[in-house]
Amino acid sequence: MTDDEIVIRIRGLSNRFGEQVVHEGLDLDVRRGEILGVVGGSGTGKSVMMRSVIGLQTPAEGEVEVLGENMVGRNEDEAKNIRRRWGILFQNGALFSTLTVAENIEVPIHEYFPFLSPSLVDEIASYKLAMGGLSPDAGPKFPSELSGGMVKRAGLARALALDPELLFLDEPTAGLDPIAAAAFDELILSLQQRLELTVFLITHDLDTLYAICDRVAVLADRKVIAVGTIPELLALDHPWIQEYFNGPRGRAAANSSEEPARV
């Protein structure tokens, strides 16, 4: 596989907090155009790994390249040029509570394109709102006026504000009911296909893994112990993988993914 086909390359990543070792010698490649799901038990450092990739966490050791650029030790100006090429949906949306939904979407646009006219920025925000699956009347509302699912969609719209090549999603369906979670999964898959996005997706939702992920990376024992399709992972005899995918919820998700679509 050529370098152009690898969007995220992690080698020898180690993260420590005092005496606590979260990652040690972690390696991972994310391929261009795929939806990669990242799973692991509580405390395995899924979000810490993502923070290391996007430059919010400085690793103790290791190398991280995103879109061909080194992310370790970059100054703020250098990192800013890379960051405009990706979008991030943090857990719980992470919207600014004192801004409307439209204003939240406009924040990254103002940061990177301060010369754009207010009318054009408003138009772009309206378009991103629609891409996130929200109606125009959601724009003037504040986050406190939205349902949990709408907050997630507003956060996604903001993540798409700069037309990113790469999308980071941290537990995007957490807290949503099964119907809303399934609809959000469908939205992510549709956007990924239409915009040719690469998606780095942290989740514990087995339905999401089966429904939209091309490959899954498993975090355990302080590193990525396996990466592959779900059938490839099921062929491994690691106890956590077997318990996770072959447990009651894993079997239910697998059965649901195999059911024929209703007409």
Per-residue pLDDT tens over the stretch 117-132: 999 999 999 999 999 9
Please give the pLDDT value at position 186: 96
| Mean pLDDT of all residues in 191-216 | 96
Segment 26-71, tens digit of pLDDT: 999 999 999 999 999 888 999 999 999 998 888 999 999 999 989 8
Please give the pLDDT value at position 36: 98
Please give the pLDDT value at position 260: 46
Query: Which run of H or E residues covers position 191?
Result: helix 178-195
Which carries the bigger pLDDT value, residue 1 or residue 217? Answer: 217
Q: What letter would DSSP give residue 254? A: H
Please give the pLDDT value at position 262: 34
Question: Residue 39: helix, strand or coil by DSSP?
Answer: strand
Please give the pLDDT value at position 110: 95
| Number of DSSP helices (H) and strands (E) in the chain, helices first | 10, 10
- Residue 93 backbone class (left: φ over 0; alpha: ψ -120 to 50; beta: rest): left
Phi, psi of 50 (to 5 degrees): -65, -40
Q: Among all chains, which residue has been given the structure tokens 């992310």?
A: 71
183 and 111 in contact (C-beta within 8 Å)?
no
CATH superfamily of 1-85+167-176+187-258: P-loop containing nucleotide triphosphate hydrolases (3.40.50.300)
**Chain Cα centroid distance, residue 86:** 10
| Sequence spans of domains, the chain | 1-85+167-176+187-258, 93-163
pLDDT band for position 247 (cuts 50, 70, 90): confident
Query: Which run of H or E residues covers position 64?
Result: strand 61-66
- 23: how many CB neighbours lie within 10 A of its CB? 24
Beta pairing partners, 29: 9
Instruction: Confirm whether pTM is higher than 0.85.
Output: yes
